[in-house]
Chains A and B, each alone.
Chain A
C-alpha cells in the first residue's frame, strides 16, 4: 500500500469507528455532532465551539450539557465526534483543492 494510502486508511478507520462503532451516544447523535448540524440546545453550544472555536469552550458548556441529561461518557464521545468531524472536513477540502490543482498527477501550472 502506498504511504499516502496508509495515512488516509488510518484516518478513515478513525472516522468509521467514531461514527459507526459501539458507543454510549447513539450513532445519530454522533453523526450530528460530527456534522455540527441539527443539534438541540443546550448541547449545540458545546459542539459548535468544539467545531469552530475550541479555545472558547468553558466549564459552563459542559455543565449545561450534563444538566440536560448527557452522561460524561456520552459527552466524551460527542466532543470527539465533533473534533474528528471538523478535521475530516478540512482534510477533504484540502485533498479536493489539491486534486483540482493537479492533472494526471502532475502540477498544473498553466493557469
Chain B
C-alpha cells in the first residue's frame, strides 16, 4: 500500500492475528482487512459497522443482490480490487458467476429482474455523475422496487463509493483468483464485522 503505516504500523496483537489468518487461510491478509485494523477508532470500527449493516442487515434485497450492487458500483469506479472481491462474493452468493459477469459486461442485456436492473442503472448514474433526479427514482419505483429497497441500495452505494476510493487511493494489492474466492467465502460466512 502507498502508506508505510498501512503496511507496517500495527501492534504486536494485530501482527499475531495477521499471522494466524495467513496460516489458517493459506492466503496473505488482504489490504482491505489491514486498512480497517489501522487505528480502528478513526475509521475501521465505524466503517465496518456501517458496511455490515448495509450488506448484511435486514433488507428485501438478498445478500447476493447487494454483493452484485457492490461489484457494479466498483466497476463504475474502475476499482480493480473491489471489482475482484465482490464479483467473487456475488458469484458465490448467487451460485452463478456467469450472471454476475453478464451484469458487469452489459447491464441492459444481463439476465436479471427488471427491478434489480433499474436499481443498478440508477446506482451507476449516481456514482458516475454524482447526481440523480426524481425521474430516475420514479423509473426504479415503477419497476416494482419499494422505497425501502431504494434506500437500502443507496446505503450499499455509499459504503462502496467509500471503499472503492480507499482501495484505489491507498493502492490495495490485487489478490489471486483463489485469494478473491477465499475472501468471498469469508465475507459470506462472517460479513463485514
Q: Does B29 contact A (CB under 8 A)?
A: no
- B49: nearest chain-A partner, CB-CB: A10
| Size range of the chain B interface in the assembly | 35 or more
List B contacts of A111 (CB < 8 A).
Answer: 138
Q: Does B22 contact A (CB under 8 A)?
A: no
Contacting pair B162 A83 (CB below 8 A): yes
- B137: nearest chain-A partner, CB-CB: A101
List A contacts of B162 (CB < 8 A).
Answer: 83-84, 87
**Chain B contact residues: helix, strand, loop or mixed:** helix
Contacting pair A79 B170 (CB below 8 A): yes
List B contacts of A101 (CB < 8 A).
Answer: 134-135, 137-138, 141
Known interface pairs A10-B46, A87-B158. Does A57 touch B169 (Cβ–Cβ under 8 Å)? Answer: yes
How many interface residues does A have (CB within 8 Å)? 52
Contacting pair A79 B169 (CB below 8 A): yes
Q: Determine which of A7, A75, A87, A102 lies in contact with B3 in the assembled complex, contact meaning CB atoms within 8 Å.
A: A75
**Which positions 99-153 of chain B face chain A at CB distance < 8 Å?**
122, 126-127, 130-138, 141-142, 147-148, 150-152
Chain A residues near B (Cβ < 8 Å)? 3-4, 6-8, 10-11, 13-14, 17-18, 21, 23, 46, 49-51, 54-55, 57, 59, 62, 72-73, 75-77, 79-80, 82-84, 86-91, 93-95, 97-98, 100-102, 105-109, 111
Given contacts A88-B158, A107-B147, 12 further A-B contacts (CB under 8 A): A4-B152, A7-B54, A10-B54, A11-B50, A21-B42, A72-B5, A80-B166, A86-B165, A90-B161, A93-B130, A97-B134, A107-B142
